[in-house]
Amino acid sequence: MPKAPLLELENLSTHYVSAQGTRVVRAVDDVSLRIHAGETLGIVGESGSGKSTLALTILRVLPPAARIVSGRMMFEGEDLLRKSDEEMQKVRGRRIAMILQDPMASLNPLFTIGNQVAEPIRVHEGASRTTAWNRARELLKSVRIPSPETRVRQYPHEMSGGMRQRIVGAIGISCEPRLLIADEPTTSLDLTIQAQYLKLLRDLQQAHGLALIFITHNLGIVAKMCDQLAVMYAGRVVESGPVSRIFNSPAHPYTEALLNSIPRMSDDRQRLTAIEGQPPDLSKMPPGCSFAPRCPRAFDQCLQMAPPETVTEEGRTARCWLAAPALGATAAAGLHREAV
């Protein structure tokens, strides 16, 4: 009997609403995903596709203008949307933790590194100051910060960018969460430090048995780090499934376009492949498929109706009329047209 997912999102939608209520931005729109214990789920997509909003929705730390309007978030058998704010405070940091893209957005410049790494341990586990500081030193050592005995008494501005990112990682795993969300954690790192940091995350995942949601623009990182992949476009997951299957045989034209845009050392072309056009305005979504205006394989049905989520094979889904059984064969028979 298959194990139940650690986290399962069902038809989750989060909207940003203007103060007057006249403008609604569907940042996360009808998203369904699942991740099992010890698994790594990659989430990719262009800027503005809803990746970070999805992460903040899971933790329920959205800005005031955002509203979770529908869906369920089942975590370890409990619906996080039914929990009170006080109950969610016990979940954040203790059972679900997050590493933000900019470490300086997580670190307070007025407090020492030791205080900031030790704080979750004291809050969630009720440890004494001495015990928490000893744990903080051990955590800094585990993320390969040199001279942790000295570093715990220093401040964030005294650290390099790579060290700050690793310190944020230490804070994230300080209470041994079941799920760690990493939102673009390697963006500010050079390639050498990036490789070291990715290996560190892998080592921490294996040591603590945690599930990892990895949000990134870098498909190369996805290939190295992730077991499962979700491709987001205009607030929706347009394709999901095992990384190897999606890379070898993408079911959605957007996924195919992203893969084609990866530079290859063996390619002698002078120009990189780009996706024509721009993502849609999430407050004025087109009536059909949101990717249709940019899709070279779109046909009339794509402009008229949004495609449903289709299970293409076990463990894989796609939101594309080409993948829908009723229209896939018809489209292949000659209803293709040039990109709009």
Total-model pTM: 0.88
Q: Starting at the edge strand that comes first in sequence, how are the strands of the sheet with 24-35 ordered?
A: 24-35, 7-17, 66-75, 78-79
Of 265, 263, 276, give the one whose Cα is nearest residue 340: 276
- Stated as kind and residue range, the H or E segment containing 89 is helix 85-91
- In the chain the beta strands, taken as DSSP E runs, fall at 7-17, 24-35, 40-44, 66-75, 78-79, 96-99, 179-183, 211-215, 228-233, 236-242, 310-313, 316-318
Which tens digit of pLDDT belongs to each residue from 166-210? 898 889 888 889 999 999 888 767 787 788 888 888 887 888 788
Which tens digit of pLDDT belongs to each residue from 18-41? 877 778 999 999 999 999 999 999
Burial class (CB within 10 angstroms; exposed 0-12, middle 13-18, buried 19+) of 116: buried
Mean pLDDT (the chain) is: 87
Which tens digit of pLDDT belongs to each residue from 325-336? 655 444 444 444
Cβ atoms of 294 and 276 within 8 Å: the answer is yes
Cβ atoms of 277 and 295 within 8 Å: the answer is no
CA dihedral of residues 108, 114, 119, 125 (deg, nearest 10): 160
Separation CA 131–CA 69 (nearest Å): 42
DSSP 191-207: HHHHHHHHHHHHHHHHH
